[in-house]
């Protein structure tokens, strides 16, 4: 256990077993009376969230983000490993942990529809052990803060999706928790609502020194919002860095050489400082994508060498450009599900693994 | 202390919510009472028109109504733990409740308490309305009835928690619970004191089921209560009872079917339900079912967290 963290996951594994009766295998077409399937939703996941930090958990559908959130909040029990919230073991001190966290889960039914936002806050405040004057004041404050004050007395079923989401965030905050877990807070919201909610999340973290976990599959949200990002895929945490660091991993060292015909990529691998070579095909002809070492002198030498090799072989060099790094690119590289147009052909070493 | 505190806080929250929803959907609330009333009146007149002696008729009617109301009570409470829980899991409300630091058991105790309270109040309204319609006054012994209702509630939530635990882990069992719920209505209607004459095995099964003894006791107090004609100087209720007619040799006279002829009316004190055999079984049933129910619910809750089925899965 590391006391530096407000939330810590330690060697977390989660395996779900599902049982199927009268099951028909899609591939072989065979029928079975009974099969058992296993899904690995978390494989040796380790990370921590510091106080006052927004931590983003980024991953494609089914990566295991929601499972992580539920394991931190004690709704799902890890198969093995320990989760600590402010030094308390979630499995052993679950009810105490629940007094310290606020959770917004996916879905819009987490609030009670026939009640108004104010009544919802009163109800869930009581459920979380808050009452009386404190509750009344905090409910109004929160509604004011999130911008729902004018909808305070409208039944939830008449509210829009974004307004419901805002209310769900208020409910999570009603007991003034120090750790807040938000599962996909901006999914399905329009640009304005998404922006407003992100603003509020930032404000909250900065102003009240909360620890925040935000899961999302929206790169833009993660890049915009999070101080640190963990990328999770098929249950494995494949990267966990600060946002600038993560962008740095592949940044200003991937170059695109637009050529007139398809080159032989393996040739360039022997050049010192070249880490990987790929071919990209698009409408304007083949593109050689080369990533090189970040160190400046080596990079310079490598680039000269690539260009001279191209000249020697008589390629027409249409343009050279440095690839703009976005979280999306990083994400795609890391999850190894490349875009259709970019296919890494060879790799000097298993760079991805080591970087992680 | 924390949990007791929590129970009352959740109780308050649930009552407020129930009131708001009742007020907001007042039309549905009134309709449900009217529907209940109509059903009861149908039962009363249905039973009154089956040919039998007047006294038997009245007894049958009250028996039927009470059985039905107790059955509906059981139906509702067990439903909260089966279909209710299932629905909450599906919508995600259950996970919200699980996030309460008072724990799921405390929350569901409070929830079922409010449901029971609502049910009892609406049943009482219906019962009074029906009595007024058939031009009768209801006499209820307040202490006995209250004690019995509380025990019935405890009895039912014990069973409910067990069903709830099963539903948490095996969502499919929710469908089966519907059958169990209807069976409970039947059981409540047909539960009679005559089970003491049943064969040993059937008797034990009947006592083991969660609503039998509760129904017998409640019917006993309320039906007997209707026959109180006066109170003696000790304040004990006096009822009229029938005795077999005896022949000169002191043996009961039998009718054509071999049953003793009962028409000698005498006055006797009304023995309290607390001395009734079924009351003993009811207390036993409460203790056993509640222990089994809450223990298994705790166990199943943990299992459910393992399987991740507190949510929509
Ligand atoms: N209770 C469960 N039983 C069985 N399998 C489950 C259960 N919950 C989740 N899974 C499986 O575990 C994997 C991870 O699910 P999870 O909900 O954590 O993904 P996610 O990252 O939140 O995805 P999304 O972005 O779609 O919300 C999925 O393959 C899912 O099918
Ligand atoms: Mg999810």
Residue A2 pLDDT grade (very low, low, confident, very high; cuts 50, 70, 90): confident
The mean per-residue pLDDT over the stretch A147-153 comes to 90
Residue ranges making up the domain that contains B84:
2-226+271-307
Interface test with B, best of A126, A168, A169, A179 (most B CBs within 10 A): A126
Rank A10-24, A112-126, B177-191 by mean pLDDT and report only the highest.
Answer: A112-126
Alpha-helical (H) ranges within B82-103 are 85-91, 93-98
Q: What is the mean pLDDT of chain A?
A: 85
Count of CB pairs separated by less than 8 Å, A with B = 92
Residue A71 has pLDDT above 50, yes or no: yes
Q: What is the mean pLDDT of chain B?
A: 84
pLDDT at B49: 65
pLDDT at B52: 55
Residue B194 pLDDT grade (very low, low, confident, very high; cuts 50, 70, 90): confident
Residue A352 has pLDDT above 50, yes or no: no
> CA quadruple A26, A27, A32, A34: dihedral positive or negative?
negative
Measured CA to CA, the distance from residue B30 to residue A113 in angstroms comes to: 21
Residue A67, ligand 1, Cβ within 6 A: yes
The mean per-residue pLDDT over the stretch B165-174 comes to 88
Residue B291, domain member (yes or no): yes
- Closest CA to ligand 1's atom 18: A64
Backbone angles phi, psi at B60, to 5 degrees: -60, -45
Residue A356 pLDDT grade (very low, low, confident, very high; cuts 50, 70, 90): very low
Indicate the burial class of B50 (C-beta count within 10 angstroms; 0-12, 13-18, 19 or more).
Answer: exposed
Residue B140 has pLDDT above 80, yes or no: no
Selecting from A95, A105, A107 the residue whose C-beta is nearest the C-beta of B101 gives: A95
- What is the number of domains present in chain B? 1
CATH of the domain spanning A1-100+211-246+325-356: 3.40.50.300
Q: Which conformational region is residue A188 in: left (phi greater than 0), alpha (psi within -120 to 50 degrees), or beta?
A: left
Domain ranges of chain A: 1-100+211-246+325-356, 252-322
* Residue A40: closest CA among A60, A69, A12: A12
Residue A38, ligand 1, Cβ within 6 A: no
* Residue A21: closest CA among A8, A31, A9: A31
Measured CA to CA, the distance from residue B268 to residue B238 in angstroms comes to: 6
Rank A24-38, A225-239, B209-223, B243-257 by mean pLDDT and report only the highest.
Answer: A225-239
pLDDT at B116: 94
Percent of chain B with pLDDT over 70: 84
Measured CA to CA, the distance from residue A268 to residue A255 in angstroms comes to: 13
Measured CA to CA, the distance from residue B159 to residue B114 in angstroms comes to: 17
3-state secondary structure of B286: helix
pLDDT digits (tens, 9 = 90+) for B294-307: 999 999 999 999 99
Residue B253, domain member (yes or no): no
pLDDT at A31: 80
Residue A18 pLDDT grade (very low, low, confident, very high; cuts 50, 70, 90): confident
Residue B102 has pLDDT above 90, yes or no: yes
Residue B215, domain member (yes or no): yes
Nearest CA in chain B to A18: B307
Tell me the CA distances in angstroms from B200 to A77, B26, B33, B205, one per residue in order.
45, 49, 40, 9
Residue A31 or B159, more confident: B159
Residue A281 has pLDDT above 70, yes or no: yes
Are B264 and B179 within 8 A, CB to CB? no
Residue B211, domain member (yes or no): yes
Measured CA to CA, the distance from residue B239 to residue B225 in angstroms comes to: 8
Tell me the CATH architecture of domain A252-322: 2-Layer Sandwich (3.30)
A124 vs B contacts (CB less than 8 Å): 96
Q: Which residues are paired to A216 by β-bridges? A: A58
Residue A22 has pLDDT above 70, yes or no: yes
Residue B38, domain member (yes or no): yes
Residue B20 or A221, more confident: B20
Interface predicted TM-score (ipTM) of this complex, two decimals:
0.83
The token pair that represents B85 in the structure block: 């829980």
pLDDT at B137: 65
Tell me the CA distances in angstroms from A338 to A104, A258, A334, one per residue in order.
31, 20, 9
Are A47 and A227 within 8 A, CB to CB? no
Nearest CA in chain B to A16: B307
pLDDT at A85: 95
Residue A131 has pLDDT above 60, yes or no: yes
Calculate the CA dihedral of residues A203, A208, A209, A215 and round it to 10 degrees: -50
Nearest CA in chain A to B8: A126
Q: Which conformational region is residue B260 in: left (phi greater than 0), alpha (psi within -120 to 50 degrees), or beta?
A: beta
Residue B260, domain member (yes or no): no
Residue B239, domain member (yes or no): no
DSSP result, A138-171 = HHHHHHHHHT-GGGTTS-GGGS-HHHHHHHHHHH
For residue B138, give how far its alpha carbon lies from the nearest alpha carbon of chain A (Å). Answer: 37
Residue A18, ligand 1, Cβ within 6 A: yes
Residue A349 pLDDT grade (very low, low, confident, very high; cuts 50, 70, 90): very low
């Amino acid at each position: 256990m590391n006391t530096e963290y407000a939330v810590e996951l330690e060697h977390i594994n989660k395996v779900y077993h599902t049982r199927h009766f009268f099951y028909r295998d899609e591939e072989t077409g065979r029928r079975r009376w009974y099969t058992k399937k296993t899904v690995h939703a978390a494989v040796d996941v380790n990370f921590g969230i510091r106080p006052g930090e927004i931590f983003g958990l980024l991953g494609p559908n089914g990566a295991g983000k929601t499972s992580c959130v539920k394991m931190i909040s004690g709704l799902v029990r890890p198969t093995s490993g320990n989760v600590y919230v402010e030094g308390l073991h979630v499995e052993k001190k679950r009810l105490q942990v629940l007094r310290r966290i606020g959770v917004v889960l996916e879905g819009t039914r987490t609030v009670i529809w026939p009640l108004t936002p104010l009544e919802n806050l009163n109800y869930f405040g009581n459920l979380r052990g808050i009452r009386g004057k404190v509750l009344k004041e905090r409910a109004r404050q929160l509604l004011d803060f999130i911008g729902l004050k004018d909808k305070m007395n409208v039944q939830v079923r008449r509210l829009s999706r974004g307004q419901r989401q805002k209310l769900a965030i208020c409910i999570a905050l009603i007991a003034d928790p120090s750790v807040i877990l938000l599962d996909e807070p901006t999914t399905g919201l329009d640009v304005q609502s998404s922006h407003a909610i992100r603003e509020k999340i930032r404000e909250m973290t900065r102003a009240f020194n909360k620890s925040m976990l935000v899961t999302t599959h929206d790169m833009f949200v993660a890049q915009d919002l999070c101080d640190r990002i963990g990328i999770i895929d098929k249950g494995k945490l494949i990267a966990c860095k600060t946002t600038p660091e993560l962008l740095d991993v592949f940044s200003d060292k991937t170059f695109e050489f637009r050529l007139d015909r398809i080159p032989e990529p393996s040739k360039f691998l022997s050049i010192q400082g070249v880490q990987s070579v790929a071919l990209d095909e698009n409408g304007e002809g083949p593109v050689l994508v080369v990533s090189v070492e970040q160190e400046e002198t080596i990079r310079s030498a490598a680039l000269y060498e690539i260009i001279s090799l191209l000249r020697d072989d008589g390629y027409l060099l249409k343009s050279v450009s440095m690839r703009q790094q976005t979280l999306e690119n990083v994400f795609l590289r890391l999850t190894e599900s490349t875009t259709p147009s970019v296919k890494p052909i060879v790799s000097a070493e298993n760079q991805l693994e080591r970087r992680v | 202390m924390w949990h007791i505190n929590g129970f009352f806080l959740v109780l308050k929250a649930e009552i407020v919510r129930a009131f708001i929803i009742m007020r907001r959907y007042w039309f549905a609330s009134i309709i449900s009472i009217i529907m209940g009333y109509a059903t009861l009146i149908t039962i009363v007149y249905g039973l009154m028109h089956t040919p039998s002696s007047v006294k038997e008729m009245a007894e049958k009617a009250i028996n039927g109504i009470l059985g039905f109301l107790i059955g509906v009570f059981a139906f509702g409470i067990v439903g909260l733990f089966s279909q209710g829980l299932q629905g909450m899991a599906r919508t995600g409300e259950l996970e919200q409740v699980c996030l309460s630091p008072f724990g799921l058991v405390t929350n569901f105790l409070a929830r079922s308490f409010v449901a029971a309270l609502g049910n009892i109040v609406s049943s009482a309204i219906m019962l009074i309305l029906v009595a007024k319609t058939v031009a009768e006054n209801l006499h209820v012994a307040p202490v006995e009835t209250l004690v019995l209702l509380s025990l019935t509630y405890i009895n039912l939530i014990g069973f409910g928690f067990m069903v709830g635990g099963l539903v948490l882990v095996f969502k499919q069992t929710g469908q089966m619970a519907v059958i169990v719920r209807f069976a409970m209505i039947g059981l409540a209607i047909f539960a009679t004191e005559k089970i003491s004459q049943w064969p040993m095995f059937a008797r034990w099964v009947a006592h083991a089921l969660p609503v039998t003894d509760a129904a017998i006791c409640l019917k006993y107090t309320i039906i007997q209560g209707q026959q109180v004609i006066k109170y003696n100087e000790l304040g004990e209720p006096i009822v009229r009872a029938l005795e077999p007619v005896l022949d000169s040799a002191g043996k009961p006279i039998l009718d054509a079917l071999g049953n003793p002829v009962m028409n000698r009316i005498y006055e006797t004190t009304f023995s309290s339900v607390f001395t009734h055999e079924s009351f003993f079984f009811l207390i036993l049933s409460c203790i056993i079912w509640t222990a089994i129910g809450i223990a298994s619910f705790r166990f199943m809750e943990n299992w459910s967290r393992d399987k991740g089925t507190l949510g929509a899965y």
